[in-house]
Amino acid sequence: MRSNKAGASGFIYEIVKNRYLYLLALPGMLFLLIFAYTPMLGHLLAFQNYRLSDGLFGSEWVGFKNFEFFFGNKDWLRVTWNTVFLNGLFLVFGIGTAVLLAVLLNEITNKWFKKTVQSFVFLPYFISWLVVSMMVQTVFSSSEGMLNQALTALGFQGVDWYLTPGVWPYILTFVYVWKMAGYNSIIFLASITGISSEYYECAKIEGASRMQQIIYITLPLLRPVIMIMTLLGIGRIFYGDFGMIYALVGDVGVLYPTTDVIDTFAYRALRQMGNFSMSSAIIVYQSSMGLITVILFNWLARRIDSDSRLF
Q: Quickly list DSSP for 34-60.
A: IIIIGGGGGGGGGGEE--TTT-TTTSE
Q: 159 — alpha (psi -120 to 50), left (phi > 0) or beta?
A: beta
Confidence of residue 310 (pLDDT cuts 50, 70, 90): low
pLDDT reported for residue 158: 84
Q: What is the C-alpha separation between 39 and 226, in angstroms, rounded? A: 31
pLDDT band (50, 70, 90) for residue 3:
low
Residue 169 has what DSSP assignment?
H
Query: What's the whole-number mean pLDDT along residues 234-250?
Result: 89
Above 70 in pLDDT, residue 5? Answer: no
Structure confidence at residue 308 as a pLDDT band (50, 70, 90): low
How many Cα atoms are found within 13 Å in the side-chain-facing hemisphere of 66?
27
pLDDT band, very low/low/confident/very high, at 88 (cuts 50, 70, 90): very high
* The pairing of beta strand 60-61 with beta strand 48-49: antiparallel
Which 3 state secondary structure label does DSSP give 108?
Answer: coil
Span of 2-6, 209-213, 236-240, 248-252 with lowest mean pLDDT: 2-6
If 0-12 CB within 10 Å is exposed, 13-18 middle and 19+ buried, where does residue 209 land?
Answer: exposed
Residues 119-128 have a mean pLDDT of 91
Q: What is the overall mean pLDDT for the chain? A: 87
pLDDT over threshold 70, residue 6: no
- Select the highest-mean-pLDDT range: 49-53, 146-150, 167-171, 209-213: 167-171
What domains can be seen in the chain, in order of their start residue?
Answer: 44-308 (1.10.3720.10)
pLDDT at 236: 85
In angstroms, how far is the first alpha carbon of the chain from the final one? 34
Q: Which residues does 308 contact at the CB level (< 8 Å), separation at least 6?
A: 223, 224, 227, 228, 231, 301
Average pLDDT over residues 137-150: 87
Euclidean distance between CA atoms 180 and 182, whole angstroms: 6
Reply yes or no on whether the pLDDT at 58 is more than 60. yes
Report the C-alpha gap between 49 and 66 in whole angstroms.
8
Q: What integer pLDDT is reported at residue 309 of this predicted model?
A: 67
Of 2-6, 106-110, 149-153, 272-276, give the lowest mean pLDDT range. Answer: 2-6
Contact call for residues 80 and 262 (beta carbons, < 8 A):
yes
Q: What's the CA dihedral at 94, 105, 225, 205 to 10 degrees?
A: 140
Determine the distance from the C-alpha atom of residue 245 to the mean position of all C-alpha atoms in its chain, rounded to a whole number: 13
pLDDT band at 55 (very low <50, low <70, confident <90, very high): confident
Instruction: Count helices and strands (H / E) in the chain.
Output: 15, 2
